[in-house]
Amino acid sequence: MLRIHVSGVDLSRVRMATRPDAMWETILSFHRLRDRRGSTVFGKWRAESRARLNGEARLLATVVPPRGYFPDFLTPSQEGAEPFGLDAGMEALRDTAADRIREETGLLAQQAPRMRRASSGAPSGAALLEALAEGRTEPLGRLITTLRDYHRAAVEPYWPHIRACVEADRAVRGRALLDGGADELLAGLPSMIRWRAPVLEADYPVDRELRLDGRGLLLQPSFFCRGTPVVYRDPGLPPVLVYPVTHPGAPVFAEPGPWLGRLVGHTRSTVLRSIGQGCTTSELARRTGVSLASASQHACVLRQAGLVRTLRHGSSVLHTLTPLGAALLRGGAPLPVS
């Protein structure tokens, strides 16, 4: 059980991340790569990513074991709500103090017996951990290069999908914040997280107590987080709660299919523009001047075409644009990958 103690000051400083964090998604995706569960959501992604990898998994398994602790320095912290892009995250990783690397790799080495049983690359892995603990620059550079190569193979090709899911979750949480403040925001987080003021409880593999002490809390939705949220082991780092977004039942990386052929007509174009930064079905009906049933049908077709994402918000649903939908409205100009 994870218990996060939230004071009144902390509650006023709860904030939502503005987008997915490239470093968290990279590390957590490596967990999903070795996890056989969630084949409906991640099965296609696993098969495609494994085909593109070229030995990166052996080295990464050294610092990211299948279970248990992985070093906090692999997912650099930040004070604000603007998550790291890949380049900024790698630079922050490169700037990690040597004594911190030594301490955190020492904690990781305590899991070495389990890691040797789980990884065929244990001998070279043990050497890498020892070299990192000694503060040498070459092994850190090698790790950064490997992480970058892994990200290009397993995360970057899917970034528009990842970003769409995170932004849809953010839209739902933002609506809760506007409707009922931070209390409703925390109460509406995924079911493995429970707000029992003044404590935010969550399912967790070990017992942890985290006191925010007036620092507030950054909520970071994650595409590749699964089952339980994640926090830093070091309580002195800026508090962040990484939690899983809600995935639909269908494969998330499926191609749009023939539904794009149905996106012809003035009304549906108006519906797509009206969704904008997010709206419920009732709001969509009012904005477009159509019936509730018609608005729901149009949103369904847009969703099946990959242009809209829909998440439940209380008793209603909230529609948001995917990167593809936003690009279509801009005449095909793509969203930046960041």
pLDDT value at 314 more than 90: no
- Closest-CA residue to 16 (of 176, 128, 127): 176
pLDDT of amino acid 117: 42
Least confident of 191-200, 248-257, 273-282: 248-257
Cα dist. 142→56, 137, 145, 161 in Å?
A: 11, 9, 5, 29
pLDDT value at 29 more than 60: yes
Rounded distance, CA 237 to CA 214, Å?
A: 13
pLDDT value at 255 more than 80: no
pLDDT of amino acid 153: 94
Rounded distance, CA 171 to CA 7, Å?
A: 25
Query: For the whole model, what pTM was predicted?
Result: 0.80
At residue 119 the predicted structure's pLDDT band, cuts being 50, 70 and 90, is very low
**Lookup: tokens for 165:** 């899911």
Which residues, at least 6 apart from 193, have a Cβ–Cβ distance to it below 8 Å?
A: 186, 200, 201, 202, 203, 229, 241, 243
Contact 142, 55 (CB under 8 A): no
- Closest-CA residue to 335 (of 218, 222, 175, 167): 167
pLDDT of amino acid 125: 64
Share of the chain above pLDDT 90, in %: 51
Helix (H, G, I), strand (E, B) or coil at 241: strand
Q: Specify the DSSP class assigned to residue 96.
A: -
Helix (H, G, I), strand (E, B) or coil at 240: strand
49-105 pLDDT, tens per residue? 999 999 888 889 989 998 889 999 999 987 777 788 999 999 999 999 999 999 999
pLDDT value at 116 more than 50: no
Rounded distance, CA 215 to CA 280, Å?
A: 33
pLDDT of amino acid 178: 86
Phi and psi angles of residue 317, each rounded to the nearest 5 degrees, phi first: -125, 155
Rounded distance, CA 9 to CA 19, Å?
A: 24
Contact 23, 85 (CB under 8 A): no
Cα dist. 144→34, 93, 262 in Å?
A: 20, 8, 45
User: How much is the average pLDDT of 141-165?
Assistant: 92
Better-scored residue on pLDDT, 330 or 46: 46
pLDDT of amino acid 50: 94
Least confident of 12-21, 27-36, 130-139, 282-291: 130-139
Helix (H, G, I), strand (E, B) or coil at 166: helix
Least confident of 23-32, 180-189, 278-287, 323-332: 323-332
At residue 254 the predicted structure's pLDDT band, cuts being 50, 70 and 90, is low
pLDDT value at 123 more than 70: no
Omega into 198 within 30° of 0, i.e. cis? Answer: yes
pLDDT value at 147 more than 70: yes
User: How much is the average pLDDT of 270-284?
Assistant: 88
Helix (H, G, I), strand (E, B) or coil at 226: coil
